Chain A
């Protein structure tokens, strides 16, 4: 318990330090963008704005990680998670893993990517393709697609939750059952995540 508290305080301090640094980066880049724009250096101003977009995405990603619970239906967070990519390129990826023993659930949130709308469209079409390996479910009111695939050790399950320009994907490994995966997904604050990323 004491170790968990220490870990929590350390995480909170680290995140606060990161946020302060990022806010200063954003302010500095914004000033650069304005200076370049006022000087008529439009291409440089545009580049500064692309950097600002990346900084917003980084901050949004960190806020999403903050919103993830430390525990999902018994699965405990095994790392602090990480944020990479940018909506100025191929989108933002937010990744975090949860574990019970050897069982692991990886949650990957992809947002502001040009590829997500087409993936979400395919997911929508998948629901109509049917098949024993796919099932439409509801997670906190959002439609989601549960998929089953064979592996050497049995079945693996994947859950995709499309939300506008964001796709949340949960993948179970080492024997995570469909029931466990759905129970974990139900604990995610989807509405909060959706608000942060729209």
Chain B
């Protein structure tokens, strides 16, 4: 009975109500924060230790395991008495060969080893998504609102699964002012936002730190908190959300002006959204 109830709850979660969309919103916000926090921690470590971290980062993929942008725990979180890692060759950060993996997937499919077929196809999808991500990051401006982009903090994350999709991060910073753009291409998350925006649950709520706005004629959600600053969520098409977070922005109009520098139609086209 418990499991039936659980499975039923899971199905409701999958269809996404307005109330559950809020929970997803919070999850997405938390993930965006984790990405920013990890980037700040990395920079702090570099400053304290006086050397650059040479492990795979930036816009390249380390293959299917590279998911740090989505909040996976770091191997360096463990404490070893008297021992600290002083360096290593890092990981090979070459995206998977798409055509080679497609050929391997075909061979495995024909020989009925479907697990191998799926794995090779996932690697091919990963390769394509990493390329899509890199191209898209390159098309975003180098400067927004007087803030320069930080290439070291650029991230492309792909699971190769389709349902989890693709996530990109680009950070702009100057002194204590920062703007982070997260682009998430995921059916489930986008559906949550679209349902939340389209449903009545939002209209019925009395939430002083959240409101609906328009960005270049597209419906969006603007939030504010003293801890996190401003956050703007713009759903694009069926599967994409653009999240813009502004830290130490004086007011919402400044953030909206900064967001207007982002070519949302270009992002839609790059991700094949209508």
**Which residues in A have some Cβ–Cβ distance to B below 8 Å?**
23, 26-27, 30, 33-34, 37-38, 42-47, 49-50, 52-53, 56-57, 59-60, 63, 86-90, 112, 114-115, 119, 122-123, 126, 133-134, 145, 147, 149-150, 156, 158, 160, 169, 171, 195-198
Bound Cα distance from A147 to B188, whole angstroms: 31
Contact of B132 among A43, A114, A195 (CB under 8 A): A43
Bound-state CA distance A178–B56 (Å) is: 52
CB-contact partner of B162 in A88, A147, A198, under 8 A: A88
Interface residue tally of chain B, by bracket?
Answer: 35 or more
Knowing A56-B118, A195-B115, the reply to whether A119 touches B7 (Cβ < 8 A) is yes
Q: Is there an interface contact between A158 and B121, defined as CB atoms closer than 8 Å?
A: no
Q: Which residues of A contact B3 (CB under 8 A)?
A: 119, 123, 145, 147, 158, 160, 169
Shortest CB distance B9–A (Å):
10
- Offer 20 A-B interface pairs, CB within 8 angstroms, sorted by A: A30-B102, A42-B128, A46-B125, A46-B132, A49-B121, A49-B125, A53-B122, A53-B125, A57-B118, A60-B118, A87-B161, A89-B163, A89-B187, A90-B188, A114-B161, A115-B14, A119-B6, A133-B1, A158-B3, A195-B115
Complex Cα distance, B5 from A126, in Å, reads: 14
Contact yes or no, B1 A147, CB < 8 A: yes
Contact of A34 among B99, B121, B122, B135 (CB under 8 A): B99
Given known pairs A88-B162, A160-B3, the reply for A56 and B121 (CB within 8 Å) is: yes
Contact A52 B128 (CB under 8 A): no
* A34: min CB distance to chain B, Å: 6
